[in-house]
Homo-oligomer: A and B are copies of this chain.
Amino acid sequence: MTLIKNDVNVEARAIEAKKASKKLIILSKEEKNQALLHLADVLEREYETILAANEKDLANGREKGFTDAFMDRLSLSKERIAEFAQGLREVAELEDPTGQVISDWTLENDLQVQKVTVPLGVIGMIYEARPNVTVDATGLALKSGNAIVLKGGSSAINSNQAIVEVMHRGLEGTKIPKEAVQFIASTDRAATNELFTMKEHIDVLIPRGGGKLIQAVVENATVPVLETGVGNCHIYVDKDADVEKAISILVNAKTDRPAVCNAAETLVVHKDWLAAHSDELIAALKENHINVHGDERALEVIPGAVLAGEEDWKNEYLSTDIAVKVVDNLTDAITHIETYGTKHSEAIVTENSEAAEKFMALVDAAAIYHNASTRFTDGGALGFGAEIGISTQKLHARGPMGLPALTTVKFLMKGTGQIR
């Protein structure tokens, strides 16, 4: 295995990706799919190479005292690598998002106009611990005819590098040039920063990871960014909320998988509902080991709650902690969500359809729920197939992003000498 050095020529990697992207554009969907299937077989076959590299990352991680949860995300096994391969096979099955004619028409002068989907070109993927992103993102990029430049987190650098080396061997003998998958084998943050401004060679940056990583990319990149993932999601329990629905939705959204972005972080609750149903709420919070950080009115009602500050309203806990804000009315609930939400997923629980309609119209987020858990904001749950991430921005793609988010369009004009 190659040693990790920090003198990677990032620009050279990006230029190679751009060149390879030109070769990808003209491949048929069959050629791309065959390459993906071959990639999957080779990954599965060469799992030992990957596990050996993963062992180094795990040893480094133990030395650095990483948490168990972190070590679990980092850790690979024969089975997990087989899952990666299976993921690639599923991507091969998906509809090709490129070459689709969105519209076509003929002008009065007989100029034929076609609007067709085409690959974006080169995707820059900047991500943290999980080595599965190396495979998943590569599969989605290649399927959609894009080259990819991968910059993973330093804690998984040996695993990621080994995965890329195996994938390069997997692309040999296929129509996809191995230069279409570039890996920045550097633990140096400056290497990441170089990607931020490489507009000439990289068409889009996709950061995946914590809020700080995403903020750094959004604030510093001149390359367009597909912003994903930070979800400070709220459950608003309205005056007219059904008690059973409210409690089951709250508990599900908070505790099913607390560390994911569509988990709830704040309960916004109408004062009258709280007054009427505090017993049921308190019992459910206790039973599910949910720790409450509440405003003063919440503290009066919920035993053991600690006083919430600005940070509690703003940040994701990604744990079984929850912030509780008591409001006088729907408008105050919406204002709180507008002030602190991240435009990801927001829910109202109510039997009052007027309140539900107002909430759904006025709250500005990718997904708005009436009487359901925020946990459904997910490409898999919605039936989109593989997911690049969940966009919390408004341009290009919003909400769960599948393969079409990795394409753009071209107008193709066929004439016989038309002038204006």
Contacts and interface: CB of A to CB of B under 8 A. Distances in A.
Interface of A: 22, 25-26, 105, 107, 111, 113, 115, 120-121, 203-204, 218-219, 222, 224, 226, 242, 244-245, 248-249, 251-253, 256, 360-362, 364-373, 375-377, 381-383, 393-396, 398-399, 408-420
Given A398-B409, A398-B410, A413-B370, A248 B376 contact: no
Contacts of A245: 416-417
B366 A420 contact: no
Contacts of A203: 394
A329 to B, nearest CB: 16
Contacts of A417: 242, 244-245, 248-249, 371-372
B410 A369 contact: no
A257 to B, nearest CB: 9
B395 A395 contact: yes
Contact of A373 (B115, B120, B381, B418): B418
B413 A369 contact: yes
Contacts of A371: 414-418
Contacts of A366: 410-411
23 contacts: A25-B362, A26-B362, A107-B376, A107-B382, A111-B372, A204-B395, A226-B395, A244-B417, A248-B419, A365-B410, A366-B410, A369-B415, A370-B415, A371-B414, A372-B417, A372-B418, A373-B419, A373-B420, A375-B419, A396-B396, A398-B408, A398-B409, A399-B409
Per DSSP, chain A at the interface is: mixed
A204 B398 CA distance: 14
B419 A368 contact: no
Contacts of A218: 222
Nearest to A393: B224
Contact of A381 (B408, B410, B420): B420
A128 B309 CA distance: 45
B420 A224 contact: no
A410 B343 CA distance: 10
Given A25-B361, A256-B419, A381-B420, 10 more contacts: A26-B361, A26-B362, A121-B394, A219-B222, A368-B411, A368-B412, A373-B418, A373-B420, A376-B418, A398-B408
Nearest to A418: B372
Contacts of A368: 410-413
A126 B30 CA distance: 46
Interface centre among A222, A370, A417 (most CB of B within 10 A): A417
A342 to B, nearest CB: 12
Nearest first, the 4 A-B pairs at minimum CB distance are A372-B415, A252-B419, A394-B408, A245-B417
B394 A395 contact: no
A373 B188 CA distance: 48
Contacts of A362: 22, 25-26
Contacts of A408: 394-395, 398
Given A25-B362, A383-B107, A398-B408, A372 B204 contact: no
Contacts of A249: 417, 419
B399 A411 contact: yes
B361 A107 contact: no
A375 B411 contact: no
